[in-house]
Structure 1
Amino acid sequence: MPYRPTHRQLEYLVAVADHGHFGAAARACNVSQPTLSAQLRLLEDRLGTVLIDRGAATAQPTPAGQALLPLARSVLETLDELVRVAGAADSGLGGLIRLGVAPTVGPYLLPPVLEALQADVPDLELYIREERPVQLEPAVRDGALDCAFTPWPLRDERLNHEVICEEKIYLGLPARHRLAAAAEIPVAALGGERMLTLGRGHRLYEQVQALCAVSGAAMGEDYEGTSLDAIRQMVSIGMGLSLFPAAYVASEFAKERQVVLRELSDWPMLRRVVLAWRTGSPRQLHFQRLAILARNALSALSIEGLKLAPIGGSTR
């Protein structure tokens, strides 16, 4: 079996690099300086290379030591994560969860969920990162994030999910548009219209793209919005039409007078929002509980066009 450094040896190496002094490193690691020095000597002997330059005024890593430092830090962080996950598995939903959220979901559905989590799980610590769905999925798969609220479908088959809710998607038109007076609009009526959308990597981009393909509408390729607010402003001044999810409509359209919302009579305009996590995660039960808490929090709201998913049965 090849030689494997101990975690203490790696800890000592990192401490010396951080403090630049054997004595300070030993104090930081709560060991005597001779113990620390002896373990680093043993590590160097077994690896066959010098890792610390002891001749300088301060203890500095050699080139070999510098090359090993990122790996040593990564191993120590992984061991810390192992301990954290093991503790969380016993203690239930709590500790740190690194949560990803899509920009079209977070501002409009996340606040009531966060409020409920603070009340029900006060020891839960959340780190929240907003990214496009195309970036969230690999981040969850590779462990940079624990889970993510994101629109369905998921492209990565290595992710499990629970459906949180299903939203209607409305067609937004300028108030003076020729179709604005219609109660419902057939897909064919959109032929030749210009559709605005968020940039690539958003599921709404894909939905607009699909709608253009069946209706004969044109994608506004010269403008890709960075937010739903930006798209709404573009629609309000007559630059085109777009799609808006129900939760966004409930949050932002109360005082909107320049954009009207309509449903298409012959095209399914829905999207699902899911909580996704890595298949095989030891915290799957925690994420399923998080999904239940999210549904319960949203059930207290009255959002037209938003339907909660049943508990269970929607995990892939």
Structure 2
Amino acid sequence: MPFRPSARQLEYFSALAEVLHFGKAADKCNVSQPTLSSQFKLLEESLETVLVERSAGVVSLTAAGERLLPMARQVLENLDEFVLAAKAGQGNLGGLIRLGVSSTFGPYFMPYLLPILKQAYPGLELYIREDRPGLLEEQLRSGVLDCVMTPDITRSDQIEDRILCHEAVVLAVPRTHPLAGVGVIPVSMLRGEKLLSLGQGFRLHNDVQELARAAGAEFRQDYEGTSLDAVRQMASIGMGLALFPAAYVASEFGKEPNLLLKRVEGVPLNRTMSLAWRKGSSRAGHFEKLLSLSREAVLSMQIDGVTLPPDGSTKDT
């Protein structure tokens, strides 16, 4: 590895060039003269370049010293800017957060969170990536993302996670379906029914699969949707029944006249949304504050079926 001057060595060089006296330069840098002299000599030896002339107590810059001094001062200025930028980021959760959000949750939650974040940390830059939970978790582990909001996260010794909220999942039934008149549907009444789903990689895909297995229903893998909107449209024209999370229902079902929402009895239909980051991250404090603000956003949603965990706090930790 090539030699790199230390910041202190460049500080000694800059001070010496300013006062042209070893003793005064040492006072300016709050070190002893032998310390400054020995470090400056090491700098010259390592660079194989004489930076100052010394004769009869008079110090002057050599041609090489004159040429290198502006560069040394620029390096020190850049280091100062580096520290200032870091300190500025401390007041804005690090300045930038690369956040991954499940595409079945983010579009219906972020409009509540973003104004709260903007008010609390106006200088924060937020890079948001929506994707399937499995891909988000992979990008979190690889360092592409700083943290993720995802349902029913896969537990790992590489990931630290905190519960953001619990979200109910309900069954959508066409108005013309025989089950439309049933208030709460026993799971046994779904035997033989066709169930629609999102594609693989979504947690709802697994939920539908488990419901079909428990009920003896038909899991329609030949008609898997790429989005909740696509699944809703398929269900509305009678292609099958479908599961939808509460935040999506609150956002999108006001314009859906052809489907009725039903609770299924006999199986737990809900999901747990979590905020997760890499275990041991030095930014854990930032993510804990993001979690606190995210829980405030959950409260502001006022949606039936979206609830904080029992010990959920809206205060910064």
TM-score (norm 2): 0.70
Out of 244-253 and 87-96, give the one that drifted further.
87-96
CA shift for structure 1 position 156: 3.5
| 3-state SS, counterpart of residue 192 of structure 2 | coil
Task: Name the amino acid aligned to 2:282.
Answer: P
Say if 1:197 and 1:225, in contact at 8 Å, map to a contact too: yes
Say if 2:172 and 2:259, in contact at 8 Å, map to a contact too: yes
Q: Which runs of 5+ in 1 are unaligned?
A: 9-41, 43-81
* Equivalent in the alignment of 1:145: 145
CA RMSD of aligned residues (A): 2.3
Matches within 5 A, 1:153-168: 153-168=153-168
In the alignment, the residues of structure 2 paired with residue 7 and residue 208 of structure 1 have an alpha-carbon distance, to the nearest angstrom, of: 62
CA shift for structure 1 position 146: 0.2
| Change in CA separation of 1:179 and 1:87 when aligned onto 2, cut-off 3 Å | same
Q: Which runs of 5+ in 2 are unaligned?
A: 7-46, 48-81
In the alignment, the residues of structure 2 paired with residue 91 and residue 150 of structure 1 have an alpha-carbon distance, to the nearest angstrom, of: 26
* Equivalent in the alignment of 2:240: 240
* Equivalent in the alignment of 1:66: none
| Change in CA separation of 1:7 and 1:153 when aligned onto 2, cut-off 3 Å | farther
| 3-state SS, counterpart of residue 219 of structure 2 | strand
| Greater Rg over alpha carbons, structure | 2
* Equivalent in the alignment of 1:112: 112
* Equivalent in the alignment of 1:205: 205
Out of 295-304 and 96-105, give the one that drifted further.
295-304
In the alignment, the residues of structure 2 paired with residue 104 and residue 84 of structure 1 have an alpha-carbon distance, to the nearest angstrom, of: 39
In the alignment, the residues of structure 2 paired with residue 295 and residue 190 of structure 1 have an alpha-carbon distance, to the nearest angstrom, of: 35
CA deviation map 1:90-126 (0-9, x unaligned): 5462401000011001111111101110111101100
| Change in CA separation of 1:153 and 1:7 when aligned onto 2, cut-off 3 Å | farther
Q: How many corresponding residue pairs? A: 238
CA shift for structure 1 position 223: 1.4
| Change in CA separation of 1:278 and 1:241 when aligned onto 2, cut-off 3 Å | same
Task: Name the amino acid aligned to 1:209.
Answer: Q
In the alignment, the residues of structure 2 paired with residue 259 and residue 184 of structure 1 have an alpha-carbon distance, to the nearest angstrom, of: 15
Matches within 5 A, 1:1-316: 3=1, 87=87, 90-91=90-91, 93-309=93-309, 310-311=311-312
Task: Name the amino acid aligned to 2:191.
Answer: G
Say if 2:159 and 2:276, in contact at 8 Å, map to a contact too: yes
Say if 1:190 and 1:216, in contact at 8 Å, map to a contact too: yes
CA deviation map 1:48-95 (0-9, x unaligned): xxxxxxxxxxxxxxxxxxxxxxxxxxxxxxxxxx98996578546240
CA deviation map 1:291-316 (0-9, x unaligned): 0001112212210111112336xxxx
| Change in CA separation of 1:84 and 1:214 when aligned onto 2, cut-off 3 Å | farther
In the alignment, the residues of structure 1 paired with residue 84 and residue 190 of structure 2 have an alpha-carbon distance, to the nearest angstrom, of: 53
In the alignment, the residues of structure 1 paired with residue 164 and residue 300 of structure 2 have an alpha-carbon distance, to the nearest angstrom, of: 14
Say if 1:165 and 1:272, in contact at 8 Å, map to a contact too: yes
Task: Name the amino acid aligned to 1:289.
Answer: K
In the alignment, the residues of structure 2 paired with residue 136 and residue 91 of structure 1 have an alpha-carbon distance, to the nearest angstrom, of: 27
| 3-state SS, counterpart of residue 267 of structure 1 | coil
In the alignment, the residues of structure 1 paired with residue 208 and residue 117 of structure 2 have an alpha-carbon distance, to the nearest angstrom, of: 34
CA shift for structure 1 position 211: 0.6
* Equivalent in the alignment of 1:26: none
In the alignment, the residues of structure 2 paired with residue 206 and residue 104 of structure 1 have an alpha-carbon distance, to the nearest angstrom, of: 14
In the alignment, the residues of structure 1 paired with residue 94 and residue 301 of structure 2 have an alpha-carbon distance, to the nearest angstrom, of: 25
In the alignment, the residues of structure 1 paired with residue 124 and residue 142 of structure 2 have an alpha-carbon distance, to the nearest angstrom, of: 22
| 3-state SS, counterpart of residue 261 of structure 1 | strand
Task: Name the amino acid aligned to 1:152.
Answer: D
In the alignment, the residues of structure 2 paired with residue 157 and residue 205 of structure 1 have an alpha-carbon distance, to the nearest angstrom, of: 25
In the alignment, the residues of structure 1 paired with residue 206 and residue 125 of structure 2 have an alpha-carbon distance, to the nearest angstrom, of: 33
Task: Name the amino acid aligned to 2:212.
Answer: C
Say if 2:92 and 2:121, in contact at 8 Å, map to a contact too: no
Identity of aligned residues (%): 48
TM-score (norm 1): 0.71
* Equivalent in the alignment of 1:61: none
Say if 1:102 and 1:151, in contact at 8 Å, map to a contact too: yes
Task: Name the amino acid aligned to 1:285.
Answer: G
